[in-house]
Amino acid sequence: MPLLTTAEAKVYLTEVTDSSTTQDARIDALVLAADDLLARALGYPENDSNTRTLDSATYTEFLDGPSETDRRSLLLAVSPVTSITSIHDSPTWAYDAGDLVDATDYLSVRDGWVHLTPTGTHAWSKQLRVLQVIYVAGEALDDGEKEAVGQFVAHLFRLPKRQGRQSTSQKGHTASFRVEDIPAHVLRQLTHRANPAVIIG
């Protein structure tokens, strides 16, 4: 789901007075590009849709097992975690029904930790890619965060074309940008949304 609707983005584009299909498509493409660029800058990996977003998304992660210091807990790559779809513990990498860990054996926490319950019977295996975790993480933006995204979309809309930029294509339209093109005030407004699993310099 886009971080902003076309109408919400237009609030920050005072120079846009028409609502042509072409113009709206360009704005929608810039909203998607802004989401991707911000998610990259704030440390979010690709989700199961092969995109990066600050919004809620499904992730499939393969883990090598728990750490030596805490054999009952796993740390996922993205938070906040809103739900765990499934966990498979599979030494053969089959991840089939026989490898499914019963949901009553673990407890997920919003900060990305998954803990075995005291009454559970399962113990995490520890070897390469033994655990497959499918989960939903991220959350919708509040009004202040939407304000920051809207300002960034407006920045991209007005950005003069220069060589040496990266580019992305969305819905048939191409938007060019660089990480350096994210205004400092936009990043400051969204720093609290940085993926906790990644240290942002």
- List pLDDT tens digits, range 34-49: 999 999 999 999 999 9
Look at residue 198 and tell me if it is in a domain.
Answer: no
Is the CB of residue 70 less than 8 Å from the CB of residue 38? no
Q: How confident is the model at residue 163 (pLDDT cuts 50, 70, 90)?
A: very low
pLDDT value, residue 167: 64
Percentage of the chain modeled with pLDDT above 70: 87
Measure the CA–CA gap between 17 and 10, rounded to whole angstroms. Answer: 9
Task: List the domain range (segments joined by +) for residue 188.
Answer: 6-52+141-193
Specify the 3-state DSSP secondary structure of 170.
Answer: strand
Q: Are residues 65 and 88 in the same domain?
A: yes
pLDDT value, residue 106: 97
Is residue 98 pLDDT above 60, yes or no?
Answer: yes
Q: Are residues 43 and 114 in the same domain?
A: no
The tokens describing 16, both together, are 């846009």
Q: Are residues 129 and 65 in the same domain?
A: yes
Is residue 186 pLDDT above 90, yes or no?
Answer: yes
If you compute the radius of gyration of the chain from its CA atoms, what whole number of angstroms results?
20
Measure the CA–CA gap between 33 and 63, rounded to whole angstroms. Answer: 30
pLDDT value, residue 132: 98
Q: Are residues 48 and 109 in the same domain?
A: no
**Closest by alpha carbon to 79, among 131, 103, 44, 34?**
44
Look at residue 146 and tell me if it is in a domain.
Answer: yes
pLDDT value, residue 85: 98
Backbone φ, ψ for residue 46 (5° rounding):
-65, 140
Question: How many Cβ atoms are within 10 Å of 58's Cβ, its own excluded?
Answer: 14
Q: How many folded domains does the chain comprise?
A: 2
